[in-house]
Amino acid sequence: MSASELQSGMGIGYLARARVLLSAAALVVASGCATTAATDPRDPAEGFNRAMFSFNETLDESIAKPVATAYKSVTPDMVRYWVRNFFANIGDIFIGLNNLLQGKPGDAVVDWARFSMNTTLGVFGINDVASEVGLDKHNEDFGQTFGRWGSPSGAYLVWPFFGPSTVRDTAGGLVDFYLDPVWRKQSEGVRWTAALLRATSQRADLLDASRILEEAALDKYVFQRDAFLQRRRGLIYDGKPPRDSSSLLREAPHAEAPPAADRVFDEPAVAVSAPASPDAALRVAGNPEQVLAAGHTGR
């Protein structure tokens, strides 16, 4: 067999494999689409997303949840507390950076004060002494920073292993990932150990929440998606989103006049043409709430 024959043979093998993969993917997408009668405008890739959701569920049931449950049962509360705080403390550096980028230098100072205090007095961050003296932890990431400056969320996306996201949050997540100290400048061994420990710790903290989700949801995929989108919207507005949960309803293709009992509609969001502050410029388009948020009152 000549070198070129070998090469073409490999090529065919590769092509055949790729075709199988592609048709499998197409099948998955098609079957996903078939289960949903109407598409939600926020979720054009619902077929793909549902397939990824099922994959993640299986992965979670067979590996992540058992590992997290075991971790919770073999480690003392104190140790889990230390592990959680250790990783949370590292996160504060970048939470501070994001607060600065979002034009909130005051919050950034709090984040970095937390980091300094917890790293020293809290012994490498394993104790959260800063919270005890009233320096509350924040939740920021690059997806929120993009959102703060007007980036629309884009389509809802579910990634294998990483779970719910949107186009914007995927872009933000890549920056988060790139800057993540756990992945940077570590030897291969340290990096994987640290990342798996962090993931286990985070999953263990969610054991109760995931059980509640299981009990509350009729269609877990939809429930999780809507909760994720609401949560992200709240985070971008730092917990003070304009009262517009009607967005979910307005997206129903056959939306009619809202019922009187639905008081969510009482407060009309205000549209602004000339945003004066980052706050006013804050826009969550892509979700149908292309409404600008000048209406919401600051703290």
261 binding another protein? (CB under 8 A) = yes
Q: Which is nearer to another protein, 189 or 259 (CB)?
A: 259
Q: Is the Cβ–Cβ distance between 40 and 250 less than 8 Å?
A: no
* CA gap 255, 253 in Å, rounded: 6
Structure tokens at 76: 């003392």
Amino acid identity at 283: R
Cβ-defined contacts of 233-236 (< 8 Å, 24+): 233/153, 233/284, 233/287, 235/139, 235/140, 235/144, 236/144, 236/147, 236/148, 236/282, 236/284
Structure tokens at 90: 């590292």
Q: Which is nearer to another protein, 7 or 116 (CB)?
A: 116
* CA gap 256, 200 in Å, rounded: 45
Structure tokens at 99: 């607060």
* CA gap 274, 10 in Å, rounded: 60
Mark the segment that binds another protein (CB under 8 A) among 11-19, 21-29, 249-257, 284-292. 249-257
Q: Nearest distance from residue 214's CB to another protein, in Å?
A: 9
Q: Which is nearer to another protein, 51 or 126 (CB)?
A: 126
Q: Is the Cβ–Cβ distance between 223 and 217 less than 8 Å?
A: yes
217 binding another protein? (CB under 8 A) = yes
210 binding another protein? (CB under 8 A) = no
191 binding another protein? (CB under 8 A) = no
Mark the segment that binds another protein (CB under 8 A) among 57-65, 156-164, 165-173, 225-233. 225-233
37 binding another protein? (CB under 8 A) = yes
196 binding another protein? (CB under 8 A) = no
Q: Show the site string, 277-296: x = touches another protein by CB under 8 A, - = not.
A: --------------------
Mark the segment that binds another protein (CB under 8 A) among 9-17, 24-32, 82-90, 183-191. 82-90
- Contact residue for another protein among 109, 248, 280, 285 (CB under 8 A): 248
Q: Show the site string, 125-164: x = touches another protein by CB under 8 A, - = not.
A: ---x--x----xxxx-------------------------
Task: Mark out the alpha helices in the chain (DSSP H runs).
Answer: 3-34, 46-59, 65-74, 77-101, 105-120, 129-132, 142-148, 167-179, 188-205, 207-216, 220-236, 247-250, 278-281
Instruction: Of 135, 103, 141, give the one whose Cα is nearest residue 122.
Output: 135
Q: Is the Cβ–Cβ distance between 203 and 69 less than 8 Å?
A: no
Structure tokens at 226: 């809507």
231 binding another protein? (CB under 8 A) = yes
Q: Nearest distance from residue 6's CB to another protein, in Å?
A: 53
Burial (Cβ within 10 Å: 0-12, 13-18, ≥19) of residue 181: middle
198 binding another protein? (CB under 8 A) = no
Instruction: Of 104, 141, 133, give the one whose Cα is nearest residue 116.
Output: 133
5 binding another protein? (CB under 8 A) = no
Q: Which is nearer to another protein, 84 or 191 (CB)?
A: 84
Residues that bind another protein (CB under 8 A): 37-38, 40, 81, 84-85, 88, 128, 131, 136-139, 205, 208-209, 211-212, 215-219, 222-223, 226-227, 230-231, 233-235, 237, 239, 241, 245-246, 248-249, 251-252, 254-259, 261-264, 266
